[in-house]
Amino acid sequence: MSHLVEKLDATVLGLVEALDADAENLPRLLDEALQGSLWARQIGREGEVEQQSHQTILAARANVIWSHTTPQARKGHYAMGVGLEAGLAIDHMADVLGMLVDQADEAALRDDAEALSAALAQLAARILVIRPFVPDKKNTLPPNWGHILKEWVSGTDVNVIGAENMSIIEDAFAYRLVWALEALRTRRVTLGWSAEIVSGGGAASLETGVPQLMMSMLIRAGLPSRRAAIAAIRMTGAVFVTVSDMRAWLASEEIAELTDAGDFPTPETAVLWQRFRDDLLTVAQQKWSVGRGTRALVIGVDAEVPPEGTYRIEFDVPHGDAWMTTPDYRRVAKFRTRAQGARGGLFTARLKEGQREALIERFGSGVVKWPK
């Protein structure tokens, strides 16, 4: 019944566009909103008594909502998508909830797992007892749920947290509590609030299981390892709050060099990181450009110079040693310097007769740098 009443409340608030309307105008506003609707066509097939019952229920519930709320409160409830009882409960402690959300967001910006988990635990204690945010019966919070929450947002490995606790994390924290935090944020924005810091970090940490917003952004972008996200941000001290800034950081010379080393952010996650970075930058950088430059080859004074012509270029992984090869990939000579940055795209090397340096051309996205 509670679930049905919540749906009824959401229906009433969704039908009455003017949430600041007077209560005496509700029957007319409901009739106008329902004219030609799917509900009107369906109920039109029923008898007159059935039609009247539906209309009476809608009007009665609308009157109950209007008699217990102000226009501002109704706007907030509609923004959150909750029923009257849940909306009133949240309204009663809105100031405290808003303060705790801000504390969680601030902690997620500075990588403070202690403060983050403390704020989120206080939010969970207040919100996860209110429908529709109450976890399923099979995922009822155990006595040590606060410890589980702290371990999760701190980035602790799943095998340490315990596989038996993951259903609780997924339902209560990563789903219900994240839903509640986003509903609170939407309510505050609807009522005129504007954030003084980057908001949403606490919800992002709950969703991804890491203690900092930048780490969460990497995971949301497709990095399939919490350990890699934590190590990458902490090792580099990265600071970004937008997707474009994150891509610029991933494309930077510093990250390119660390990635090329083959053991970043950890030896176990280097391959995952390389694939994630390549995929994200490939998607982000659709525009191709043409780059040209002359680079010397390692050819001894008395050694025979390769014949004039056009050659391929291939690279050794992970260090970036570059080789000039024949079309069938037979190595002819090594370049003196290593390529840095994006090594995708199409490379050619043109060699003139008797010369020990080749003209390199590259067609592709991103930037390749060749040290002098």
Give the start-end residues of each E strand in the chain.
289-298, 309-315, 322-325, 331-335, 340-341, 346-351, 357-364, 368-369
Collapse the DSSP code of 296 into the 3-class scheme (helix H, G, I; strand E, B; otherwise coil) and give the result: strand
Please choose, from the candidates 111, 109, 89, 116, the residue with its C-alpha nearest in 3D space to the C-alpha of residue 183.
89
Q: Which of 3, 115, 153, 13 is closest to 69 using CA atoms?
A: 13
The Cα 220–Cα 223 span in angstroms is: 7
Q: How far apart are the first and last CA of the chain?
A: 75
Domain positions in the chain are: 2-71, 94-204, 212-284, 289-369
**What is d(CA 354, CA 356) in angstroms, rounded to the nearest whole number?**
7
Which pLDDT value is given to residue 299?
83
Which is higher by pLDDT, 341 or 146?
Answer: 146
Provide Rg for the chain, Cα atoms: 30
327 burial level (CB within 10 Å; 0-12, 13-18, 19+): exposed
Q: Residue 305: which of 351, 350, 352, 354 has the closest Cα?
A: 354
pLDDT of residue 113: 92
Mean pLDDT of 74-97: 86
Tokens read off for 338? 């290593």
Measure the CA–CA gap between 135 and 90, rounded to whole angstroms. 17
Token duo for residue 280: 């994200």
Residue 60: the pLDDT is 80
DSSP 170-211: IIIIIIIIHHHHHHHHHHHHHTT---SS---HHHHHHHHT-S
Take residue 49 and report the two structure tokens written for it.
Answer: 């008594």
What integer best gives the mean pLDDT of the chain?
Answer: 83
Contacts of 143 (CB under 8 A, 6+ apart): none
Query: What pLDDT is stored for residue 294 in this prediction?
Result: 85
The DSSP line for 79-103 is: HHT--HHHHHHHHHTHHHHHHHHHH
For residue 218, what pLDDT is reported?
94
Tokens of residue 123, six digits: 């939010």
Peptide bond between residue 132 and the one before it cis (omega within 30 degrees of 0):
yes
| pLDDT for position 241 | 87
Q: How far apart are CA 124 and CA 117, in angstroms?
A: 10
Tokens of 256: 């390119």
What is the tens place of the pLDDT at every residue in 309-365? 899 888 886 667 888 888 878 888 888 888 776 667 788 889 888 888 888 888 876
The average pLDDT across 96-119 equals 93
**28-71: per-residue pLDDT in tens?**
666 666 666 666 666 666 777 877 787 777 778 887 888 788 88
The answer, yes or no, to whether residue 306 has pLDDT greater than 60, is yes
Res. 231 pLDDT band, cuts 50 70 90: very high
Give me the percent of the chain exceeding a pLDDT of 90: 23
Largest separation between any pair of C-alpha atoms in the chain: 105
